[in-house]
Amino acid sequence: MNKLAPSILAADFFRLGEQIKEVENAGAEYLHIDVMDGSFVPSISFGLPLITSIRKNTKLIFDVHLMVTEPERFVDQFVDAGADIITVHAEACTHLNRTLMHLKERGIKTGVALNPATSPECLRYLYNYIDMILVMSVNPGFGGQEFIPETIKKLNDVRELVKMSGRDIDIEVDGGITLENVKSIVDAGANVIVSGSSVFKNDIASNVREFEKILHA
Ligand code: DX5
Ligand code: ZN
């Protein structure tokens, strides 16, 4: 089942609550929440208080993407703030297995994100602990960047690896996704689609509906 995960990084923070309601009412399934620490990535976004505050007002699945060095220091607080899925970067964790096991113990879904230069091979011995693989289609840190075309080949590879693992693992893609390229991304193997700037511009509800139409065609 394909799902849309609008990234609030591209929202108008003055009207954040309103805009979250708009994507929810238009049929989005997830809310993608980009946490940046200014160390793992060259930008700082927002953190725990924002998540706690929006959690009270929406039933959307909170898909929290931690672009944070050594995220194990914070994962418990993100679980407590209301995350449903926590994705950590393979490149940011010294003890990735331990971090994933800990998240499993906390009873939430786990994701591992891979930067464009990182091979999915590093996940070979971790499939039992992973619910979602997040394939970055831009270098993380900013919204509104161009989709990196080599991601299509990587998605094909990840789809094969997931098939071989025999596990039911979602494949999420993040960065530069538009109404024009989303079909080719789904055809390549992705089933969770993050989109920031293509959702939070002009008519937000209509953007969500157009994405949903393609995702559920
Ligand atoms: C990039 C973030 C993305 C970003 C996507 O570091 O992880 O989630 O918000 O935004 P667009 O869709 O504008 O590329
Ligand atoms: Zn993201």
Q: Sketch out the chain's domains with CATH numbers.
A: 3-215 (3.20.20.70)
Amino acid 5: pLDDT: 99
Three-class DSSP category at 104: helix
Burial label for 14, CB within 10 Å (0-12, 13-18, 19+), is: exposed
The catalytically annotated residue of 12, 34, 157, 170 is 34
Beta strands, E only, the chain: 3-6, 30-36, 61-67, 85-89, 109-114, 132-136, 170-174, 192-195
Known catalytic residue: 174?
A: yes
Ligand 1 atom with least separation from CA of 175: 14
pLDDT over 90, % of the chain? 100
Do 23 and 31 touch, CB atoms closer than 8 A?
A: yes
- Identify the segments of the chain with pLDDT beneath 50: none
User: Average pLDDT over the chain, rounded to whole?
Assistant: 98
Three-class DSSP category at 120: helix
Query: Residue 166 CA to chain centroid, in angstroms?
Result: 22
Known catalytic residue: 34?
A: yes
The overall pTM is greater than 0.75: yes
Whole-number Å distance, alpha carbon 119 to ligand 1 midpoint, is 20
List phi, psi (to 5°) of 172.
Answer: -105, 145
Amino acid 26: pLDDT: 98
Amino acid 165: pLDDT: 97
